[in-house]
Chain A
Amino acid sequence: MNKFLRSIFLVDLFQGLWVTFRNQNPKYIYTEQYPGERPKVAERYRGAPRLNINPDNGETLCIACNLCALACPETLIVVGSERNEQTRRKDLTTFTYDLSRCMFCGLCEDACPVDALELTQDFELAAYTRDGAIWDRQMLEEGPRPTRYKF
Chain B
Amino acid sequence: MPETTFLDSTELVLNMGPQHPSTHGVLRVILKLDGEKVMGTECVIGYLHRGVEKIGENRTYLQFAPYVDRMDYVAAVSNGLGYCLAVEKLLNIEAPPRAQVTRVILTELNRVASHLLWLGTHALDIGAITPVFYTFREREEVLKIFENYCGARLTTHAFRIGGLQYELYDGFEEQVKAFCDMFLPKVDEYEELLTNNRIWVNRLKGVGILNADECKEFGVTGPVLRAAGVSWDLRKAQPYSGYEQYDFEIPTAQNGDTYDRYGVRMREMRQSVRIIRQAVDKIPAGPIGKTPKVIKPPVGEAYVSIEAPKGELGYFIVSDNSTQPYRVRVRPPSFINLQALDRMVRGGLVADVVAIIGTIDIVLGEVDR
Contact = CB atoms under 8 A, between A and B. Distances in A.
A44 B169 contact: yes
A7 B63 CA distance: 58
B215 to A, nearest CB: 30
Interface string A5-39: 00100011101101110010000101000000000
Interface stretch (A85-93, A102-110, A129-137, A143-151): A102-110
A18 B65 CA distance: 45
A107 B62 contact: yes
Contacts of B130: 16, 19-20
Contact of A16 (B62, B147, B148, B197): B197
Contacts, number: 70
A104 B196 contact: no
B155 interface: yes
A41 interface: yes
Contacts of B67: 73
Interface string B125-145: 000001000100100100010
Contacts of B63: 71-73, 107
Interface string A29-56: 0100000000001111110000000000
Given A19-B192, A19-B193, A44 B148 contact: yes
B246 interface: no
A67 interface: no
A116 interface: no
Interface in B133-165: 134, 137, 140, 144, 147-152, 155, 157, 165
B189 A73 contact: no
B189 A44 contact: no
Nearest to B198: A12
B157 A42 contact: no
Q: Which of B130, B151, B157, B196 has the most CB of A within 10 A?
A: B151
B151 A106 contact: yes
Interface residues of B, number: 31
Given A7-B198, A43-B148, A106-B151, A73 B134 contact: no
A139 interface: no
Contacts of B165: 106, 110
Given A23-B134, A44-B149, A103 B166 contact: no
A45 B198 CA distance: 44
Nearest to A111: B62
B59 interface: yes
A79 interface: no
Contacts of B59: 73
A5 to B, nearest CB: 14
B66 interface: yes
Contact of B151 (A12, A18, A46, A71): A46
Contacts of B193: 15-16, 19-20
A65 interface: no
A49 B147 CA distance: 17
Contact of B166 (A20, A44, A71, A107): A44
Contacts of B152: 45-46, 104, 106
B64 interface: yes
Nearest to B160: A110
B192 A44 contact: no
A44 B168 CA distance: 11
A73 B157 contact: no
Contacts of A107: 62-63, 66
Nearest to A44: B151
A4 B165 CA distance: 58
A73 B198 contact: no
5 contacts: A19-B189, A46-B151, A72-B63, A104-B152, A105-B65
Given A42-B148, A44-B166, 7 more contacts: A12-B198, A16-B192, A19-B189, A104-B155, A105-B157, A106-B151, A106-B165
